[in-house]
Amino acid sequence: MNAVIIIFGSAVLVFIGGFFGMLYRGIDRKLVAHMQGRVGPPIVQPFRDVRKLLMKENIIPDGAISWLFNAAPLLALISTGSLLLFIPLFGQPALLGRYGDMILVLYLLIIPSLAFVVGGFASSSPYATVGAQREMIVMMSYEAPLAVVALGIAWRISQVPGAANPFLMSTIGEYPIWNLLGPVGFIGALLMLFTLVVVTVGEAAKVPFDVAEAETEIAGGLLVEYSGRNLSLFYLSDVIKAFAMTSLVVALFIPYNLSPALGITATVAAGVIDGLFFLVKVFVVMFVSISLIRAGMARFKISQASTVYVLAMTAVALVGMLLIWADFVIRV
List the pLDDT tens digit at each of the 332 positions of the chain. 587 888 888 999 999 999 999 999 999 999 999 998 898 899 999 999 999 998 888 888 888 888 899 999 999 999 999 999 999 999 999 999 888 889 999 999 999 999 999 998 898 888 888 888 888 888 889 999 999 999 999 999 999 988 888 999 999 999 999 999 999 999 999 999 999 999 999 888 777 888 878 777 777 778 888 888 999 999 999 999 999 999 999 999 999 999 888 888 878 889 999 999 999 999 999 999 988 888 888 888 888 888 999 899 999 999 999 999 999 998 87
Q: Nearest CA to 111 among 65, 134, 69, 143? A: 143
Residues 6+ apart with CB under 8 A from 111: 75, 76, 79
Question: How far is residue 132's CA from residue 175's CA, in Å, rounded to a whole number?
Answer: 39
The length of the chain in residues reads 332
Query: Which pTM does this prediction carry?
Result: 0.93
Question: How far is residue 213's CA from residue 53's CA, in Å, rounded to a whole number?
Answer: 19
Q: By the 8 A CB rule, do 32 and 294 touch?
A: yes
What is residue 211's predicted lDDT score, i.e. its pLDDT?
81
In 104-141, which positions are buried (b, 16+ CB within 10 angstroms) versus exposed (e)?
bbbebbebbbbbbbbbbbbbebebbbbbbbbbbbbbeb
What is residue 98's predicted lDDT score, i.e. its pLDDT?
85
The torsion defined by the Cα of 207, 204, 149 and 184, in degrees rounded to 10, comes to 50
Domain ranges of the chain: 2-331
